[in-house]
Structure 1
Amino acid sequence: MRLPSVLQPGTSRVRSGQAALYSTMALQRSHKLNLLRIAVLLVVALAGIKFFFRDSLTLQLHKHISKDSAFWGDTGDSSHQSQAAEVHPAKITVPRQGPRQQFPKDLSATEMRLVHLDLKGAAPRVSYLEQLFPLLSRLGANGILIEYEDMFPFKGELEVLKSPYAYSEEDIEWIQQLAELHKLEVVPLVQTFGHVEFILKHAKYQHLREVERFPNSFNPHVPDTLALLKVILSQVMEKHRRSSWIHIGADEVFHLGEGKDSRNWMSHNKGDTGTMYLNHIKEVLDFISTQYQGLRVLMWDDMLRKISVGALQESGIAKRVSPVVWFYAPDFNAEQIGQFIAKYVESGFEAVWFASAFKGTTGPTQSWPPLSSHLKNQLSWLRVREAMPRFAPLRFQGIVLTGWQRYDHYSVLCELLPVGIPSLAICLQTLVNGGFTEQTRRKVLEVLGFQSMQLEQSTCEGRGVFPGAEIYHMVEQVNRHLKESITKMLEEESAIKGWFSPYHRKHQFGNPRNMESFGSKVLKLHDDWESFVRDLRAHLESIYFPDTVEEWMEENINPYLDPLQDLVRDYRAIIRLNAQPKAP
């Protein structure tokens, strides 16, 4: 601490000895007073530090391994029990802290359009987001919903949750600064009930599963489930102090009510899964409202659809969270959506959100988004939006354009984000303009740098100038030609089938005269695709981390290119033998 400067004595003309003595005494008193002030300030500072960093509460989690605890599987499986017994109980440290100050903006009068970034797979490098955010803003987005999952830089006891390629704390701050620069509200999404495979797959947290065999959902009856969620939410929100909303997920809580603890609870409390669900949600909301005053909360609505109006009213969650109603089908039943919305009005909710999709909802292995399907989904939501005045006083707050990258933590990758950009542009501009008008089409073509688009064929013609356009075109070539061209060569080329069959290759038996009749075509096809794949890999590596590149190549390139590479390897080896006798 910087010491206050000592006041200098005045230039008095009094020369008497008494005046000099008084001056000396005053100076000494000033020194003592300043020292006293410093001591007081140090005591106050130490007290403050002790208050904010006082001892944390450490909860010891226990996993009981017994035959009675088994609900799924063979209770006599001793090998499984032995493995589980070796797992060390996790220690969850729940910081004791007062409310944290948030700095939310008043966006209640703003109709939000959030673009969902699903980072549970193929999370892009921050350098790609630097290029993407200006495009999102130009297309009409005013926010991003970031589902970090294992890409968040968890620390301390949670460090096991993060991917080896997780963003750094500096990355998280830079992402928010980029978003703010381009007028995009950042909404973090933290799953708090279902879809927590990235947490419950780890040995130290397996005993928090609702059903022991499945990592999908939390057991809401174990106190340490909430303790863990408090730590996760605290770490995420500590890095999102400027956010106005948080999304707590809570969709698709598979197997809720099937675990032993849940069955016991329902038996003793004459309850049901809906009550269990609401009790857990209330605990999560209690923590958020206590610790982060002013922060508004969103949640997926599918589990609420099954719960009665009376139960929703009794729970009191309607004043504390907004449901996000999601449907991804191209032509869904608007009347059915109206029934859900009417139910939320009666239950007392004050605001509602919608969720459409621009990619990741038409099949777990889909690699190319069907433009027409996603456009129709937006048009269906616009019809629901037009009907919202019927549901007053419920207020429509915004829509999330979801772009799922995986169906869940264990599934393969869906369409890559650069491949989904044209679909996203069409969907966003359709919502902005209230329909797919000629103005919408022109704007999309202008912004993306295309000359034309064919919705039914899901293609766009032209070079493209958006971030990742090269990957868009190269993936299109893979989808259209890679499998077809190689399959045609390997399975339909009569010379290969007649003179270079699997039997010939196994026994290294071939006549160069016959082999050369197809060799040049095979080698050219191989070299062309090898060159193409090298370029594709380079472009992928500029946007994605190595694990994503390898996974995408394994799923989309190798199954077709590997057989061609094997054939070329055998061709080169056997033709060098110069028609030798058949190998044994």
Structure 2
Amino acid sequence: MDTVTLASHRLIHIDLKGAPPRPSFFEKFFPFIKSYGATGILLEWEDTFPYTKELLPIGGLSNSAQATGAPYSIEEAKQILDLAVDCDLMVIPLVQTFGHMEFVLKHDQWRNLREVENYPSSMCPSNSETLGLVRSMIKQIVAFHSSLQYIHIGADEIWHMGWCPTCAKRVQSSKYGRDSLYLDHVAEVAQFIKENYPTLKIIIWDDMLRNMDLKTLQDYNIGYLVEPMVWHYNALEDFKLGSPLWDKYSDVFRYIWCASAFKGATSSCQIIPIVKHHSSNHEAWLKQLESYGNKILNFRGIALTGWSRYDHYATLCELLPCSIPSLCSCIKTWLSGSLNQEMQLSLSENLGFPDGYQADFLKKMPHIQLNFPGGNIYLGMDWFCSLRTRYRNIINSDQMQTWFNQWQISNNYTNPMQIDTIAPFINELLLEVLANENYLKAPLENTFYPHTIEEIQGTLFAPIIQHLRQIKSDCETQLASGCRVRGKKRMIT
């Protein structure tokens, strides 16, 4: 086990397609994760990369809507890479080359490359312009990153492959059907990289390969072109990989990676990671390698993935600062094999969490100083989760549904006694949500760019604040009206 965990890469995946931090955050974050055992960064730039020339629109505007991640300037992007190098962290760029291409295919000039005209997720591998676009992206990515050893070309979750008329014909005429569409494209991309950058090793996600026959993979010599990163995010009790997969991969690939998750893998709108789940995922991976490691010729290492969105158009899930305790727990689990209660308490103490934190949160929160980058953001978002739970409990309560529903408000058919009970809870909660929003203002501005802050406020805070203000106004209006029945008459049947 020591050989697996200590002598292999431990990459921290940074997904910049959601809430890309300012370089000043990485100035603190990179030394922090290095101290916990990280050896490198799997950097998914998406539309935050400062593409130039013909690719300049990737980070710009699309259909009058701002890109989800406004691009870093060239200087900022170089600063991020320099900060990683200063911490002796290997950087592996991840550039999507087949699926998850919304950040490119949403633009009018590349709309014709979609496999399905209305869906911007996947590129058509039969379009003569597709490889040209991929090559241009790879060229700029490679040129920008010095001393690269690896590049990750994505190629996962191709939801709509073989749908266009040309691809459908290829599927019918090909010996291996839809698998050929995928493998032909990946092979062409890989051959381009090998011809132009012969020392560069190529990584892809493995999910599209899992159900392919052994003979298909061998006939394409895919094992000599790419190294699969086998990803699986389930907890120990629901971990689904097993012997048949490793038997097949051992006959095809010389090198294999694995990928776990420390955030972004439990719910598309999760705010604070479920640490127990993610730690369990790493325990499951360790057991998997213990059971089947003899079938892996060369194990490269693990990438701890941290997704910021489920796709380009999804709303944000866990922010990176909110996920650092989970990340630390996962690294500790990976290096130790598991985390017992004593180790968990020690980790919590090192991160700055006081005893009784959850039990006395609101009282202590303004005075807590957590010992990791963006700790105040973690505190503020944890506070928000608590307030949102209270909000949902109030608006879905029997009291609200029975004595203050929309029909009753519209018909002025309400009971002042019940309103006098409801109104103080609404007023108090509104004030607390506004205080929470104000508490987060400075930490968010110090860590993220305006477009991220606007999204957080617009998706999380604004709907609750607007609704509470409306309820508050309705309470005041009903009390002022004397709660007399007006308008419709009650129908007695």
Q: Could you say which TM-score interval applies, normalised by the shorter chain?
A: 0.7 to 0.9
The answer to whether 1:318 aligns with 2:212 is no
Partner residue, 1:376: 280
| Alpha-carbon distance in structure 1 between the residues aligned to 2:277 and 2:327 | 12
Q: For residue 410 of structure 1, report the CA deviation from its aligned partner.
A: 1.9
Q: For residue 218 of structure 1, report the CA deviation from its aligned partner.
A: 1.2
TM-score, length-scaled by structure 2: 0.85
Percentage of identical aligned residues: 35
Asked whether the 8 Å contact 1:131–1:467 carries over to 2, the reply is: yes
Partner residue, 2:169: 264
> What are structure 2's unaligned runs of at least 5 residues?
1-5, 60-66, 359-364, 488-493
| Alpha-carbon distance in structure 2 between the residues aligned to 1:438 and 1:397 | 30
Asked whether the 8 Å contact 2:255–2:299 carries over to 1, the reply is: yes
| Alpha-carbon distance in structure 2 between the residues aligned to 1:512 and 1:308 | 70
Q: For residue 338 of structure 1, report the CA deviation from its aligned partner.
A: 3.1
Q: For residue 574 of structure 1, report the CA deviation from its aligned partner.
A: 7.5
| Alpha-carbon distance in structure 2 between the residues aligned to 1:419 and 1:190 | 25
Asked whether the 8 Å contact 2:187–2:225 carries over to 1, the reply is: no
Partner residue, 1:362: 266
| Alpha-carbon distance in structure 2 between the residues aligned to 1:534 and 1:228 | 44
Q: For residue 553 of structure 1, report the CA deviation from its aligned partner.
A: 2.5
Q: For residue 359 of structure 1, report the CA deviation from its aligned partner.
A: 1.1
Q: For residue 482 of structure 1, report the CA deviation from its aligned partner.
A: 3.0
SS at match of 1:419: helix
Which residues of 2 match residues 199-238 of structure 1 at below 5 A? 199-238=104-143
SS at match of 2:230: strand
Q: For residue 199 of structure 1, report the CA deviation from its aligned partner.
A: 1.2
Q: For residue 380 of structure 1, report the CA deviation from its aligned partner.
A: 0.8
Partner residue, 2:388: 482
| Alpha-carbon distance in structure 2 between the residues aligned to 1:228 and 1:285 | 14
| Correspondence for 2:234 among 329, 354, 357 | 329
| Alpha-carbon distance in structure 2 between the residues aligned to 1:548 and 1:216 | 22
SS at match of 2:129: helix
Give CA-to-partner distance per residue, 1:304-343, whole Å, 9 cap, x none: 1122222222212312311101111102677843322221
Asked whether the 8 Å contact 2:235–2:280 carries over to 1, the reply is: yes
Q: Which moved more, 1:416-425 or 1:534-543?
A: 534-543
Larger radius of gyration: 1
Q: For residue 224 of structure 1, report the CA deviation from its aligned partner.
A: 0.9
| Correspondence for 1:156 among 38, 49, 53 | 53
Which residues of 2 match residues 368-517 of structure 1 at below 5 A? 368-391=272-295, 394-437=297-340, 440-441=343-344, 444-451=347-354, 463-485=369-391, 487-488=393-394, 502=406
Partner residue, 1:126: 23
| Alpha-carbon distance in structure 2 between the residues aligned to 1:140 and 1:475 | 26
| Correspondence for 1:530 among 409, 430, 434 | 434
| Alpha-carbon distance in structure 1 between the residues aligned to 2:470 and 2:442 | 23
Specify the code of the residue in structure 2 equivalent to 1:481: L
| Alpha-carbon distance in structure 1 between the residues aligned to 2:423 and 2:266 | 40
Residues paired across the two proteins, number: 467
| Correspondence for 2:10 among 102, 113, 117 | 113
Asked whether the 8 Å contact 1:266–1:272 carries over to 2, the reply is: yes
The answer to whether 1:166 aligns with 2:71 is yes
Give CA-to-partner distance per residue, 1:221-246, whole Å, 9 cap, x none: 11210000011111111111222111
Give CA-to-partner distance per residue, 1:76-129, whole Å, 9 cap, x none: xxxxxxxxxxxxxxxxxxxxxxxxxxxxxxxxx951001111111111122111
Asked whether the 8 Å contact 2:380–2:439 carries over to 1, the reply is: no
| Correspondence for 1:561 among 442, 446, 465 | 465
Partner residue, 2:88: 183
Specify the code of the residue in structure 1 equivalent to 2:125: P
SS at match of 1:441: helix
| Alpha-carbon distance in structure 1 between the residues aligned to 2:345 and 2:423 | 48
Asked whether the 8 Å contact 2:174–2:180 carries over to 1, the reply is: no
Higher relative contact order (CA 8 A, sep 6+): 2
| Alpha-carbon distance in structure 2 between the residues aligned to 1:117 and 1:144 | 7
Specify the code of the residue in structure 2 equivalent to 1:390: N
Partner residue, 1:295: 200
Asked whether the 8 Å contact 1:486–1:564 carries over to 2, the reply is: no
Give CA-to-partner distance per residue, 1:347-404, whole Å, 9 cap, x none: 2x21100011111111212222212111111011111222455225x10010011111
Cα pair distance change 1:324/1:520, threshold 3 Å? closer
Specify the code of the residue in structure 1 equivalent to 2:31: P
TM-score, length-scaled by structure 1: 0.73
Cα pair distance change 1:551/1:509, threshold 3 Å? same
Give CA-to-partner distance per residue, 1:470-494, whole Å, 9 cap, x none: 2212222222233424752785668
Q: For residue 469 of structure 1, report the CA deviation from its aligned partner.
A: 1.5
| Alpha-carbon distance in structure 2 between the residues aligned to 1:519 and 1:439 | 45
| Alpha-carbon distance in structure 2 between the residues aligned to 1:121 and 1:546 | 13
Give CA-to-partner distance per residue, 1:37-59, whole Å, 9 cap, x none: xxxxxxxxxxxxxxxxxxxxxxx
SS at match of 2:207: coil
Asked whether the 8 Å contact 1:360–1:366 carries over to 2, the reply is: yes
* TM-align CA RMSD: 3.2
| Alpha-carbon distance in structure 1 between the residues aligned to 2:241 and 2:485 | 70
| Alpha-carbon distance in structure 1 between the residues aligned to 2:481 and 2:99 | 63
SS at match of 1:207: helix
Partner residue, 2:157: 252
> What are structure 1's unaligned runs of at least 5 residues?
1-108, 456-460
| Alpha-carbon distance in structure 1 between the residues aligned to 2:307 and 2:191 | 29
Partner residue, 2:43: 146
Cα pair distance change 1:531/1:252, threshold 3 Å? same
SS at match of 1:177: helix
